[in-house]
C-alpha cells in the first residue's frame, strides 16, 4: 500500500492546515506511540523542533498524543535534527520526533520520526503509523518533561567526531545559521575549536527561518565570505541536517564535491569501509570517476537521505550523501548532520593546509541541466505520452555518455528534471523540451 502522508522526509505542509495542524499531530503522536512502543512497557519519546512560530503548537499536540497512549515525552526544545537522533540513541529511548520543514519557508512545517537506534523509519513502519491513525482514542497516563541541556549535549556529540585536542585555529569562517535550529549550536562548536567565526542570521523570530538565507540561498553565504575575507563559508538549512560550503572566493560547493573530498581522504587513510561511498541518482557522473581513480566505488540509491542510509546500513558503508548537501558520516551519527559534516571538511583543510578552492579540484563534473516544474498533479510519467516522448528524445541525444533523470519531488508539488552529458548546449535544449512538455499537460 502507498503512504498517504509520509514523503521522503516525514510529513510536510502548510502549518495550520491538514495534515500539519494540532488535531492531526495529536492523532499522529498517539498512533506513533502505539506502533513504535511494541514490546516496551512504556514508550519514551524525545521531541525537538526548529524555530518556526508553529513549532510549539505542533510540539504540544504531538506530545499530547503520545502521552494519551501512555508514553513519556522529553521536550528538547530548539535542536538540530541530528541532535534529536543522537540523544535518542545515546539515551536508549523508544523513538524521537522532529518538528521541522527543513529548507521550506516559515509558513510550512513538518513532522518526522526516528526509531530507538537513531535512524529514520522505514516505509513499512510509516505505513503502519498511518493505518493506526483512525483507531479510537485510548486513555493512557503519560508524562512530559523539559530537557534543558540538549543543545550542549549535541555540541559535545559533534565535537567527538574530531580528533582529541584538534584545533581549527587559523581558520576564519563565515556562518549563516538560517535563523534556524543551529543558531546557537554551530557557532558554539566552532568557537570551542578556536576558529575565528563571523556569525550571521542567528536571530530567529518564528517568521524568518530560511528567509533569504540558509543553504538554499547560495548568494547570501557567498557575499558573506567575500565581506569577511573568510577562509570558508558555512550555511545550514532550517533543521541543520545539511550544509552548504563556500570556498574562500565565495564559490559554493555542492554535496558531490564534499563527498569526493571526504571519500578520497578516507581512501588515502585506508579508513573507507568496503572502499565504497553511497550517493543518489542525482549525483554527478564525475563523482564516480573521481572515486574510482582513488581506488573506490560509488553505490547509487533513490533520492532521499533515508535511502542513502538504508544502503549504507545494508552494505556496511560509512560515508554517503546527496548533491543537496546531506552528508552522513556513519561513524559519527545516524543521519545527515550539517555540523559534523562541516567539521570533517574543516579538519581536512586544517590538516592539508590547502584552501577549499584547491581541495575541490578532485572532482571534475560533467555538465548538467536541471529544471523544477511546478505541477498540479503527479501523474505517472508513462501515462503522459508527450512527456515520455520528450524524455526518449533526450536520451537519444545524450547517448552514449549521458543520462536523463525525471522524477517527482517527495516534499513539494514539483517535477524535477536532470540531464547530464558533455555538451551543455544539448543539455539545455533537451531540458527545456521536457519542461515544456510537462507544463503543457500537468503544469500548475
Query: Which domains are present in the chain?
Result: 11-148 (3.40.120.10), 154-249 (3.40.120.10), 255-362 (3.40.120.10), 368-442 (3.30.310.50)
pLDDT, average across residues 98-117: 97
Please tell me the predicted confidence (pLDDT) of residue 320: 97
Q: How confident is the model at residue 136 (pLDDT cuts 50, 70, 90)?
A: confident
Find the Cα–Cα–Cα–Cα dihedral 64, 68, 70, 73, rounded to 10°. 0
What are the beta bridge partners of residue 197? Answer: 173
115 given a catalytic annotation: no
Task: Write b or e for each residue in 384-421: b if 16 or more Cβ atoms lie within 10 A of its Cβ, otherwise e.
Answer: beebbebbeebeebbeeebbbbbebbbbeebbbbbbbb
Q: How confident is the model at residue 313 (pLDDT cuts 50, 70, 90)?
A: very high
- Residue 293 C-alpha cell reads as 581513480
Please tell me the predicted confidence (pLDDT) of residue 306: 84
Look at the alpha carbons of 190, 196, 201, 203 in this order and tell me if their dihedral is positive or negative. positive
Phi, psi of 51 (to 5 degrees): -100, 15
What are the beta bridge partners of residue 49? Answer: 78, 99
Are the C-beta atoms of 263 and 318 separated by less than 8 Å?
no
Please tell me the predicted confidence (pLDDT) of residue 314: 96
Q: Kindly state the percentage of the chain with pLDDT values over 70.
A: 100
Are the C-beta atoms of 224 and 174 separated by less than 8 Å?
yes
Helix, strand, coil percent values for the chain (each to nearest 5): 40, 20, 40
Please tell me the predicted confidence (pLDDT) of residue 139: 76
Please tell me the predicted confidence (pLDDT) of residue 428: 97
Asked if pLDDT for residue 214 goes beyond 80, the answer is yes
Strands 276-280 and 297-301: what pairing? parallel
Please tell me the predicted confidence (pLDDT) of residue 152: 98
Are the C-beta atoms of 99 and 110 separated by less than 8 Å?
yes
Please tell me the predicted confidence (pLDDT) of residue 410: 79
pLDDT, average across residues 293-307: 92
Which of 146-150, 299-303, 409-413 has the lowest average pLDDT?
409-413
The order of strands in the sheet holding 368-374 is 368-374, 414-420, 403-408
Q: How confident is the model at residue 411 (pLDDT cuts 50, 70, 90)?
A: confident
User: Model-level pTM?
Assistant: 0.88
- Report how far apart the first and last C-alpha atoms of the chain are (Å, whole number): 27
Q: Express each pLDDT in 315-349 by its tens digit.
A: 999 999 999 899 999 999 999 999 999 999 999 99
Q: How confident is the model at residue 304 (pLDDT cuts 50, 70, 90)?
A: confident
Q: Express each pLDDT in 37-51 by its tens digit.
A: 877 888 999 999 999
pLDDT, average across residues 179-204: 98
Q: How confident is the model at residue 138 (pLDDT cuts 50, 70, 90)?
A: confident
- Distance from C-alpha of 46 to C-alpha of 147, rounded to nearest angstrom: 9
Q: Which residues contact 400 (CB under 8 A, 6 or more apart)?
A: none
Q: Express each pLDDT in 259-287 by its tens digit.
A: 999 999 999 999 999 999 999 988 998 99
Q: How confident is the model at residue 412 (pLDDT cuts 50, 70, 90)?
A: confident
Please tell me the predicted confidence (pLDDT) of residue 116: 95
Active-site option among 31, 54, 68, 102: 102
pLDDT, average across residues 193-213: 98
pLDDT, average across residues 132-138: 85
Please tell me the predicted confidence (pLDDT) of residue 189: 98
Amino acid at each position: 500500500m502507498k503512504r498517504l502522508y509520509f514523503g521522503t522526509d516525514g510529513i510536510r505542509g502548510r502549518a495550520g492546515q491538514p495534515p500539519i495542524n494540532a488535531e492531526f499531530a495529536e492523532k499522529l503522536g498517539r498512533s506513533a506511540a502505539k506502533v513504535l512502543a511494541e514490546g516496551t512497557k512504556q514508550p519514551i519519546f524525545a521531541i525537538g523542533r526548529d524555530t518556526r512560530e508553529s513549532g510549539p503548537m505542533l510540539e504540544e499536540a504531538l506530545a499530547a498524543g503520545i502521552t494519551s497512549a501512555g508514553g513519556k515525552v522529553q521536550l528538547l526544545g530548539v535542536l538540530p535534527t541530528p541532535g534529536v537522533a543522537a540523544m535518542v540513541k545515546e539515551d536508549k529511548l523508544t523513538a524521537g520526533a522532529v518538528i521541522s520543514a527543513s529548507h521550506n519557508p516559515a509558513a510550512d512545517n513538518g513532522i518526522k520520526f526516528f526509531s530507538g537506534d537513531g535512524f529514520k523509519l522505514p516505509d513499512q513502519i510509516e505505513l503502519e503509523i498511518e493505518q493506526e491513525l483512525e483507531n479510537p482514542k485510548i486513555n493512557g497516563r503519560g508524562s512530559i518533561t523539559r530537557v534543558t541541556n540538549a543543545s550542549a549535549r549535541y555540541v559535545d556529540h559533534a565535537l567527538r567526531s574530531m580528533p582529541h585536542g584538534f584545533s581549527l585555529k587559523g581558520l576564519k569562517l563565515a556562518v549563516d545559521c538560517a535563523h534556524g535550529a543551529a543558531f546557537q549550536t554551530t557557532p558554539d562548536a566552532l568557537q570551542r575549536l578556536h576558529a575565528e567565526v563571523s556569525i550571521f542570521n542567528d536571530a530567529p523570530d518564528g517568521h524568518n527561518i530560511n528567509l533569504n538565507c540558509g543553504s538554499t540561498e547560495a548568494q547570501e553565504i557567498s557575499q558573506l565570505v567575500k565581506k569577511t575575507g573568510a577562509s570558508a563559508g558555512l550555511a545550514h538549512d532550517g533543521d541543520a541536517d545539511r550544509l552548504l560550503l563556500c570556498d574562500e572566493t565565495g564559490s559554493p560547493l555542492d554535496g558531490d564535491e564534499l563527498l569526493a573530498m571526504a571519500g578520497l581522504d578516507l581512501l588515502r587513510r585506508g579508513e573507507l569501509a568496503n572502499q565504497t561511498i553511497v550517493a543518489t541518482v542525482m549525483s554527478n557522473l564525475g563523482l564516480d570517476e573521481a572515486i574510482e581513480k582513488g581506488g573506490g566505488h560509488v553505490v547509487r540509491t533513490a533520492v532521499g537521505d533515508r535511502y542513502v542510509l538504508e544502503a549504507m546500513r545494508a552494505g556496511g558503508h560509512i560515508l554517503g550523501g546527496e548533491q543537496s548537501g546531506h552528508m552522513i558520516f556513519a561513524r559519527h551519527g545516524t543521519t545527515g548532520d550539517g555540523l559534523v559534516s562541516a567539521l570533517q571538511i574543516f579538519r581536512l583543510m586544517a590538516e592539508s593546509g590547502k584552501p577549499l578552492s584547491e581541495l575541490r579540484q578532485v572532482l571534475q563534473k560533467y555538465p548538467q541541466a536541471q529544471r523544477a516544474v511546478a505541477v498540479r498533479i503527479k501523474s505517472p510519467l508513462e501515462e503522459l505520452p508527450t512527456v515520455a516522448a520528450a524524455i526518449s528524445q533526450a536520451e537519444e541525444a545524450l547517448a552514449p555518455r549521458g543520462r536523463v533523470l525525471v522524477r517527482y519531488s517527495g516534499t513539494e508539488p514539483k517535477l524535477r528534471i536532470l540531464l547530464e552529458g558533455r555538451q551543455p548546449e544539448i543539455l539545455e535544449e533537451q531540458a527545456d523540451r521536457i519542461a515544456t512538455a510537462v507544463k503543457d499537460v500537468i503544469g500548475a
